């Protein structure tokens, strides 16, 4: 049996065979390198370790061999792992391979990093808690925790610090998150590129958006459709929620984002966001310094709102009837822009999702107070027209709407909203 090493003499690279009577056990330098145990600085050209320096220039010394692992005279090696036997006996071994073997090294046993585990990690990192991430990726909390633990074992480090408020990324976790984001982005881009080659969608798609969220969604949806579905001619129509529902039922729209008053879908809608409703208006003694207001207190305020054809008004009237409360509507206006103008001029309060305020959120004249006892929510959902079978272009364009919504939620740009079903 023989062990080969390389030496460099007078500029020529030669390989010399030397009989070996034992295997090598490496110590660890004080710098953390696998090497000879020497604490001095590494001076070899490749700056790998003291051991590499000595082997490349002087050959092995007696100190590099251990007496407890002899194989002379037919005696078998003892005290060495199967990995070291494979590396050092009867084969040509480069020093790069040999220098990294330690008693503590273990070959992976079936471990492989899966794309879904990276997606799970990204969800926890972005949501800040296992419970919120489990809702997002739709698996049980215990299963998600197990997947994260598997990933941490594979990487050999903790990615999250757990605490009472949820989770925060460790330094290693922050680094891995940057790589994870790039990986997931590249995978998504590759998937869409291949789908485009296999047969690109084409044709016109008409998408309806309620005025409350049109300002937020229109531009990013158009940009994403142009990027991923260049053959699709997307036309966006915005209007009051009741109008969008009517146009969808008539078949004037292929697909729409709509607000529903209940959280139970009919099997034809895809839930996106749950939006809390806020009392919005000029500051009054009733709202000064408060973050919440009881629903019953709305009875003492003049309200400006839409007509009964729209989801927000339907919900208000339903809750008022159940509570035996009479609401006073000073004005009815089926225009979001005009509702906000009336509120700004002090003609009353309205009840809307926070996202409907848009730029007016920063107006110092406006107070937005969340309604409680009971709290009120509208569910934002995606729906297709029932008048005809959705075209491939409509299905592909609609599939990008949840992508945009998810981005906005992660970026915390959908104010007052949370992922559908995520709870308060």
* Residue 281 clears pLDDT 60, i.e. is over it: yes
Which tokens hold the place of 103?
């008693």
* Residue 359 clears pLDDT 50, i.e. is over it: yes
Contact 259, 311 (CB under 8 A): yes
Q: In sequence order, which residues have a C-beta less than 8 Å from that of residue 176 and are 6 or more positions away?
A: 121, 155, 159
At residue 341's C-alpha, the angle toward residues 335 and 346, to 5°, is 130
Contact 98, 4 (CB under 8 A): no
* Residue 9 clears pLDDT 70, i.e. is over it: no
pLDDT at position 199 is 64
pLDDT at position 165 is 83
Residue range 398-421: average pLDDT? 93
pLDDT at position 112 is 73
pLDDT at position 371 is 97
Q: Which helix (H) or strand (E) holds 124?
A: helix 115-127
- Among candidates 203, 249, 236, which has minimal Cα distance to 388? 249
- Among candidates 297, 270, 290, 254, which has minimal Cα distance to 397? 254
pLDDT at position 360 is 84
Per-residue model confidence as pLDDT tens digits over 104-139: 333 344 457 889 999 999 999 988 999 888 888 888
* Residue 15 clears pLDDT 50, i.e. is over it: no
pLDDT at position 198 is 64
Residue range 298-325: average pLDDT? 95
Q: Are strands 255-260 and 328-332 parallel, antiparallel or unpaired?
A: unpaired
Query: Residue 189's pLDDT band (boundaries 50, 70, 90)?
Result: confident
Query: pTM for the full model?
Result: 0.57
Residue range 92-112: average pLDDT? 40
List, in order of start, the domains of the chain with CATH numbers.
2-99 (no CATH), 115-195 (1.10.10.10), 206-424 (3.40.190.290)
- Give the separation between CA 257 and CA 314, rounded to whole angstroms: 18
Q: Are strands 34-35 and 417-419 parallel, antiparallel or unpaired?
A: unpaired
- Please indicate whether residue 19 or residue 396 has the higher confidence score (pLDDT): 396
Query: Residue 33's pLDDT band (boundaries 50, 70, 90)?
Result: very low
- Please indicate whether residue 161 or residue 44 has the higher confidence score (pLDDT): 161
pLDDT at position 264 is 59
pLDDT at position 55 is 38
pLDDT at position 191 is 76
């Amino acid at each position: 049996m023989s062990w080969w090493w390389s030496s460099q003499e007078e500029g020529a690279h030669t390989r010399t065979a030397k009989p070996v009577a034992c295997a090598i056990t490496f110590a660890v330098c004080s710098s953390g390198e696998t090497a000879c145990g020497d604490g001095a600085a590494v001076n070899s050209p490749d700056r790998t370790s003291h051991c590499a320096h000595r082997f490349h220039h002087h050959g092995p010394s007696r100190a590099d061999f251990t007496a407890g692992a002899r194989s002379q005279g037919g005696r078998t090696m003892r005290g060495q792992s199967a990995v070291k036997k494979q590396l050092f006996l009867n084969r040509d071994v480069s020093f790069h391979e040999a220098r990294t073997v330690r008693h503590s090294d273990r070959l992976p046993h079936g471990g492989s990093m899966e794309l879904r585990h990276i997606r799970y990690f990204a969800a926890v990192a972005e949501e800040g808690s296992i419970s919120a991430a489990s809702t997002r990726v739709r698996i049980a909390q215990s299963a998600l925790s197990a997947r994260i633990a598997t990933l941490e074992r594979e990487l050999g480090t903790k990615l999250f610090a757990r605490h009472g408020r949820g989770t925060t990324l460790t330094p290693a976790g922050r680094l891995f998150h940057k790589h994870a984001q790039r990986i997931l982005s590249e995978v998504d881009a590759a998937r869409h590129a291949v789908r485009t080659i296999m047969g690109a969608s084409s044709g016109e798609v008409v998408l309806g958006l309620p005025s409350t969220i049109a300002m937020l969604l229109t531009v990013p949806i158009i940009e994403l459709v142009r990027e991923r579905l260049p053959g699709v001619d997307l036309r966006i129509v915005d209007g009051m929620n009741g109008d969008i529902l009517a146009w969808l039922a008539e078949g004037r729209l292929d697909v729409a984002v709509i607000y529903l008053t209940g959280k139970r879908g009919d099997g034809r809608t895809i839930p996106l966001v749950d939006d809390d409703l806020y009392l919005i208006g000029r500051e009054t003694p009733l709202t000064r310094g408060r973050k919440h207001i009881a629903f019953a207190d709305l009875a003492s305020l003049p309200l400006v709102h839409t007509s009964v054809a729209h989801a927000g008004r339907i919900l208000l009237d339903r809750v008022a009837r159940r509570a035996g409360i009479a609401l006073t509507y000073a004005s009815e206006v089926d225009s979001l822009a005009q509702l906000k103008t009336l509120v700004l001029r002090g003609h009353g309060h309205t009840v809307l999702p926070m996202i409907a305020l848009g730029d007016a959120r920063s107006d110092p004249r406006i107070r937005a107070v969340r309604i409680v006892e009971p709290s009120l929510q509208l569910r934002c959902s995606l729906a297709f027209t029932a008048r005809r079978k959705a075209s491939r272009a409509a299905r592909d364009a609609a599939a990008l709407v949840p992508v945009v919504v998810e981005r906005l939620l992660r970026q915390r740009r959908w104010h007052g909203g949370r992922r559908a079903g995520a709870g308060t």
